[in-house]
Amino acid sequence: MLSHFLLMVVYALLVSLFFTTLWRRERRAQIVLFLQLFLGMVGGGLIVAWLMYPFPPGPPAPIP
Amino acid sequence: MADTASPEVPPAPSPSQDAQAAQPLPAAQAVMAVALAWLVPGLGHLYLKRVARGVIFFLLVIVAIGIGCGLQGNLYRPMQGQWLTYLATFGEIGMGVPYFVLRYGLRYEGQQEAAGFEYGTAFLLTAGLMNLLLVLDAWDIASGQKE
């Protein structure tokens, strides 16, 4: 459950389903919006992750 | 050649359909819908007879809260001198009764040392903000601005 990618997918799934139900009534429009939101979030996250890949990680944050 | 075809006019909605979509509820019922929507996720939509949507919203918000707590996310409370905690607390109180059940019933606080702390906090905040949007949606439906 602590996989970063899995958590991102679950989060994107929840938020996409929420806004799809909130904003659209027709089935076809719901599917289109769901795919746009879900793939946008997951794909956007992966793109940002790859853009950050060349940067070296900093020291771990201290636990207060 | 002159265009003799009549311009396309969208069919007018039937009086009953139009009245159902745009008729605002009395103020007391609208306020009740908003209050119920805040108290329990999806209950405002159930009150407004949007049963399927109410059930879906309830499940989505409860699942988000469950995952957030499972990951030991932060259940914010206002802390003096840390102004962002006021904003975060407002966002999480948006989830309604579940916030108070977690805070005072189950004594839940979250664990900062937990590996999923940050993710859990994001889920809990999102649950609160989603329910705040549901409150606004219930108001729009009750006031006739939305079907």
What percentage of chain B has pLDDT greater than the value 90?
71
Question: CB–CB of A18 and B122 under 8 A?
Answer: no
pLDDT at A3: 87
pLDDT at B8: 55
Q: What are phi and psi of A35, to 5 degrees?
A: -65, -40
pLDDT bracket for residue B96 (50, 70, 90): very high
pLDDT at A1: 53
With beta carbons under 8 A apart, name residues in chain B contacting A16: none
Assess whether pLDDT exceeds 90 at residue B32.
yes
Extract the tokens encoding B127: 């649950």
pLDDT at B1: 42
What percentage of chain A has pLDDT greater than the value 90?
72
CA separation, residue B41 to residues A5, A20, B17 (Å)? 27, 16, 28
pLDDT bracket for residue A23 (50, 70, 90): very high
Q: Which of residues 26-65 of B touch A (CB under 8 A)?
A: 53, 56-57, 60, 63-64
Residue B82 forms beta bridges with which residues? B79
Q: What DSSP letter does each residue of B12-26 carry, written as one string?
A: PPPHHHHHHHHPPPP
pLDDT at B147: 81
pLDDT at B2: 44
Question: CB–CB of B147 and A25 under 8 A?
Answer: yes
With beta carbons under 8 A apart, name residues in chain B contacting A15: 126, 130
The beta-carbon neighbor of A17 closest among B60, B119, B147 is B60
pLDDT bracket for residue A54 (50, 70, 90): confident
pLDDT at B143: 92
Q: What is the pLDDT of residues B112-132, one digit of tens each?
A: 999 899 999 999 999 999 999
pTM of the model: 0.83
Average pLDDT of chain A is 90
pLDDT at B14: 45
Extract the tokens encoding B141: 């439906």
Q: What are phi and psi of B79, to 5 degrees?
A: -125, 130
Q: What is the pLDDT of residues B44-89, one digit of tens each?
A: 999 999 999 999 999 999 999 999 999 999 999 999 988 899 999 9
Q: Cβ contacts of residue B25 below 8 Å, gap of 6+?
A: B33, B48, B142, B143, B144
Q: What is the pLDDT of residues B60-72, one digit of tens each?
A: 999 999 999 999 9
Question: CB–CB of B60 and A21 under 8 A?
Answer: yes
